[in-house]
Amino acid sequence: MRYRNQALELPLDVFNALQMFDLGSSRLAVIRQLHSRGSKATASLEAVNEVMASCGSESWGEEHVGNALVFMLLSQYGQSYSLETFLRAVKSHYSDRAINWSLVFRVFDRESLRITPGQFNKLYSALLSIASDDTSLDVQKLWGGDWKNRQTQISFLTAYLSSRIDPSQIPNFRASFPQDLFENAPDAVRMQAELAVKSPIRSVDAIKAVFDLALFSQASWNSPESAPLIKIVLSQDLPVFLLSALAVPQPWTAIQQSLVLRTLAFFILRQEEGYQLALYGVWKQDRQWLAEQLFTMFTQDPTSTAAIYENAVEYGWLEYLLSFANGLALDLASLAHRKGDFDLEAWVRSAAQKGQMDMGSLLSKFLRIKAEDELQAHRPEQAAPQMVSLAVKTVYTLLTMLEEYVGDRENLTPVQRICVQTYPRLINYGEGFDDIIDANGEKINTIPKAIDEKMQELFGRMYHEELSLREMLELMRRY
């Protein structure tokens, strides 16, 4: 009553005490015997058989067995009971008959039942000890599957993830990704993979339960009981979470998609340890999915192109990403051209031949957006570009190609004007000074203030139709 009146969450030991009252009903003779005999009740197989015999043959039923396990876990003296001995006695009693373990597990699915990592580990170890000899016993149902009581399943799932159990030892383990995924990986990745394959979140049942229980909606994300589960997922084995997420059937809900994308972004930006494992593994699992997420990441944050490019080069993604004809691919191709001798002209022609888009419109929009952002970056109110800057040589190449795809001068001239205004060194590009221009614009495209002011005066006269574009270009060559 005190906790209810003060709107406080019940401590785990109080929850367990309430569960004990539930288990103490008069029909549960096995529990009374376990309580009265204490640790002696499970000291040996004979002791267990004696307890069960004193309660009648029905005491061997699956529901009674489940209740006995819950009692021994929640009891104040729970550490003194041997769950392994109790279960061996049960298994011996059934002999060749099958135990319906789903009925045993159903007892755990009770309202308000909470379990600690230590209690869970004890139950898991006891069940695992006989699972290798009983294919019908699926210990993965201790945290996965469909439960009636959401909070109870969250408690079991959280306890499982907290216990740091190595699930690879489970018979018929359902893994979210195969152990040989990293077989040909670099040494550093293989070393990380040795730990990753032993992570509890590698369980398909666990990752599906996380998605269903804590990540299904904003309400489930915000619920108090989800907080410990989410904290564990995000604080340990985050690379394995990302790799395991790909085993969850799609489509995902908005919050599921958002969290997975944010997790990938952390690794692309190398803000989390284990990024090598995550990025290598995601590429090996589903490169098309990775490309789609990178495109989404780029549309949300155009500055991410630099990090995407760095990882694409290191992990061998670049050729695949450049096989697409979209904004990210064009930005990556432009960055590759800036950094080396990438054949940008060949890429543009190849992308145009795929017929998926109007290349003239794509190049026009791309150059205009880049130039406008670069201009804004030269002003005090915007400290830095909001996207990856273009090199003068790249702008020159794209402008040259733009003439092939835009026949209308009215559409072409405005793009040329803003590019010349933003990248004044274009005026002298292709005139024998390319190496000098490239060196001067390696880090920044701005020019000295005095020259910039004169350029702005010329642009003002051009926009007021005092000068033609050709006349303005001739005057600009003098500076």
Give the type of residue at 305: T
Q: Cis peptide leading into 251, omega within 30 of 0?
A: yes
Rounded to two decimals, the pTM is 0.85
Q: What gap in Å lies between CA 409 and CA 315, rounded to an integer?
A: 42
Give the type of residue at 343: D
**Model pLDDT, residue 278:** 98
Q: What is the pLDDT of residues 389-414, one digit of tens each?
A: 999 999 999 999 998 998 777 888 89
Question: Residue 317: which of 341, 357, 286, 363 has the closest Cα?
Answer: 286
**Residues of the chain where predicted confidence (pLDDT) is lower than 70:** 1-27, 380-383, 430-479
**Model pLDDT, residue 475:** 47
**Model pLDDT, residue 424:** 84
- Residue pair 185/193 in contact (Cβ under 8 Å)? The answer is yes
**Model pLDDT, residue 472:** 47
**Model pLDDT, residue 467:** 47
Helix 83-94 vs helix 45-54: crossing angle, to nearest 10: 70
**Structure tokens of 413?**
């001239």
**Model pLDDT, residue 473:** 47
**Model pLDDT, residue 10:** 54
**Model pLDDT, residue 112:** 83
**Model pLDDT, residue 456:** 53
Place of tokens 């439960």: 147
Q: What gap in Å lies between CA 468 and CA 461, rounded to an integer?
A: 9
**Model pLDDT, residue 126:** 97
3-state secondary structure the chain: CHHHHCCCCCCHHHHHHHHHHHHCCCCCHHHHHHHHHHHHHHCCHHHHHHHHHHCCHHHHCHHHHHHHHHHHHHCCCHHHCCHHHHHHHHHHHHCCCCCCHHHHHHHHCCCCCCCCHHHHHHHHHHHHHHHCCCCCCCHHHHCCCCCCCHHHHHHHHHHHHHCCCCHHHCCCCCECCCHHHHCCCCHHHHHHHHHHCCCHHHEHHHHHHHHHHCCCCHHHHHCCCHHHHHHHHHHCCHHHHHHHHCCCCCCCCHHHHHHHHHHHHHHHCCCCCCHHHHHHHHHHHCHHHHHHHHHHHHHHCHHHHHHHHHHHHHHCCHHHHCCCCCHHHHHHHHHHHHHCCCCHHHHHHHHHHCCCCCHHHHHHHHHHHHHHHHHHHCCCCCCCCCCCCCCHHHHHHHHHHHHHHCCCHHHHHHHHHHHHHHCHHHHHCCCCCHHHHHHHCCCCCCCCHHHHHHHHHHHHHHHCCCCCHHHHHHHHCCC
